[in-house]
Amino acid sequence: MTATPAPQSKLISWFWATRPFSLSASVAPVLVGTALAATVGALDWLLFALALTGSVAIQIGTNLTDEYSDHRKSGGEGKFLAPHKVIQRGLLSERAVALGMGAAFGYGVVAGLIIVAHVGWPILAVGVASVAAAYLYAGGPKPLGTLGLGEPVVFVFMGQVMVMASYYVQQEALTWASFYVSLPVAFIVTAILVVNNIRDVEEDREAGKRSLATAAGTRVAMWIYAALLAGAYLSIAGAALGGAVSLWALLGLAPLPWAVGAARALFAAEERPAMNRLLVRSGKLHGWTGLALAAGLFVSSL
């Protein structure tokens, strides 16, 4: 049965449907990849704008696909009505969400084609693979996110591919440095998914969804979350101290105390509201780390 919501404007409903707390996951990698490219040569700001907005559009499309797919599979039933559950809460119709999904993916494709016209077909292959991964992660008859493949897909596509593709868009080449700076982004964005799946572990088990948390248990998943955060900051330190990038990249370590606090908070979290706060906190950690790392790389280019 669909819940009866309090009156809410359509604009606010669409705002929540995009899952705004998660959108740093599509902004940070573009900033990091572009900032690294600035250390090599001049930037094309039009291509940067297209990459950034196209990336955000693809993630919004993925989030809407996840909302649509979850609602269809659950039949409109659910224990917890998070703000982004706009269909279940009666705020937006299935048709509206499906149209929004198409519009978001459509913009992402158009932005990608303009980029392809500037830099050539290799980025087209990356774009097609990324859009396919985004859709298959949340949609289709057997979404990858329900088959225990969510974490590796997010690590590769929302981390490494997005950073390295953003670098390629500017320099039309790939380097080991672009691989190294993609790692912290990949580690933390995967940590966000791990927290999400720890929070939803009971519902996922009941629905037959497989994730790291349902397969390994919440306690092991908590340790994996901590390890992912540690990996992020160790990879920044390793890249800078190893000479792959400028020592200015060590600015990316600035949010480290927040990361330690987030890991401690996860082990102390017992109630769902605490997990919700930690999910938002992890998203902010991803955004601030990406911004700090990008700032360090950009400063080194001056």
**Over the stretch 266-285, which tens digit does the pLDDT of each residue have?**
998 877 788 888 988 999 99
Determine the pLDDT at residue 222.
92
User: What confidence tier does 298 reach under pLDDT thresholds 50, 70, 90?
Assistant: very high
Domain 10-301 annotated CATH 3.30.1910: no
User: What burial class does residue 56 get, using C-beta atoms within 10 Å of its C-beta: 0-12 exposed, 13-18 middle, 19+ buried?
Assistant: buried
pTM: 0.86
For the stretch 88-138, pLDDT in tens is 666 777 788 888 889 998 998 899 999 999 998 888 888 888 878 877 876
| CA end-to-end distance (rounded Å), the chain | 58
Which residues does 36 contact at the CB level (< 8 Å), separation at least 6? 163, 167, 177, 178, 181, 245, 297
Give the list of residues 6+ apart from residue 256 with CB closer than 8 angstroms, or none.
233
Give the number of other Cβ atoms within 10 Å of residue 161's Cβ: 20
